[in-house]
C-alpha cells in the first residue's frame, strides 16, 4: 500500500491546489469562485495537501463550521489518482485528527462515486437538502470519530 498522508497547505501551495481544482472542472471552478475559497482555507489553516509517497495528488478543505462539527467541505484528487483508495484514506486521516465526535460531509446525488467512497469508509447517510443545485439534491453523510479527546 502506498503511504498516504496530509500536510497543512501553505500559501506556496495555492497554485498547486487551484490547479487541481481547475483541472477537475473549469466551469465550476470559475462560477463558484473556488480560487478565493482555496486561498481563504489556506490562510485559515483549513486546507491540507494530500500526499501519496510524498507526491502531491490533491487537497482537502476541513473545518468546524458545520454546527461546530468536523466538516469536509471539499476534496479534490487528481484524475490520475482517483479510484485507488486515496480518498477513503484521506477521509480516515481527517477523522483521526478531528476534535469532535463526528465528521460531516456532503455530495450531490449525481456523484455516485463519492457516495460509494463515503459508504465504503464507514460514513452513514444523514439526510438530503433540496434547492442548492437545481435538480441535483445535496446528500449529507457523517462518521463517528470515537476520538477520546473529543468526548466530554
* Interval 118-137: pLDDT, tens: 999 999 999 999 998 889 99
Residue 61, CA distances (Å) to 21, 131, 134, 151 in order:
12, 23, 24, 23
d(CA 69, CA 71): 6
- Name all domains of the chain by residue range, CATH numbers in brackets: 4-150 (3.40.630.30)
Q: Are 100 and 68 in contact (CB under 8 A)?
A: yes
* Interval 66-104: pLDDT, tens: 999 999 999 999 999 988 999 999 999 999 999 999 999
d(CA 92, CA 62): 13
What does the pLDDT average to over 142-152? 71
Residue 152's pLDDT is 44
How crowded is residue 139: how many other Cβ atoms within 10 Å of its Cβ? 20
* pTM metric for this prediction: 0.90
Cell, residue 78: 487528481
Residue 7's pLDDT is 97
Instruction: Report the SS3 class of residue 14.
Output: helix
Strands (DSSP E) found in the chain: 4-8, 47-52, 55-66, 69-77, 102-108, 124-129, 138-144
Amino acid at each position: 500500500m502506498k503511504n498516504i498522508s496530509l500536510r497543512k497547505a501553505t500559501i506556496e501551495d495555492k497554485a498547486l491546489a487551484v490547479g487541481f481544482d481547475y483541472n477537475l472542472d473549469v466551469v465550476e471552478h470559475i462560477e463558484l469562485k473556488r480560487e478565493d475559497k482555496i486561498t481563504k482555507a489556506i490562510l485559515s489553516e483549513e486546507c491540507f495537501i494530500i500526499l501519496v509517497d510524498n507526491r502531491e495528488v490533491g487537497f482537502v478543505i476541513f473545518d468546524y463550521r458545520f454546527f461546530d462539527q468536523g466538516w469536509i467541505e471539499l476534496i479534490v484528487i487528481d484524475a490520475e489518482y482517483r479510484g485507488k483508495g486515496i480518498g477513503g484514506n484521506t477521509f480516515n486521516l481527517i477523522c483521526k485528527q478531528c476534535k469532535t465526535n463526528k465528521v460531516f460531509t456532503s455530495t450531490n446525488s449525481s456523484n455516485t462515486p463519492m457516495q460509494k467512497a463515503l459508504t465504503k469508509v464507514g460514513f452513514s447517510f444523514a439526510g438530503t437538502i433540496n434547492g442548492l443545485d437545481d435538480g441535483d439534491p445535496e446528500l449529507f453523510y457523517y462518521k463517528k470519530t470515537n476520538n477520546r479527546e473529543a468526548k466530554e
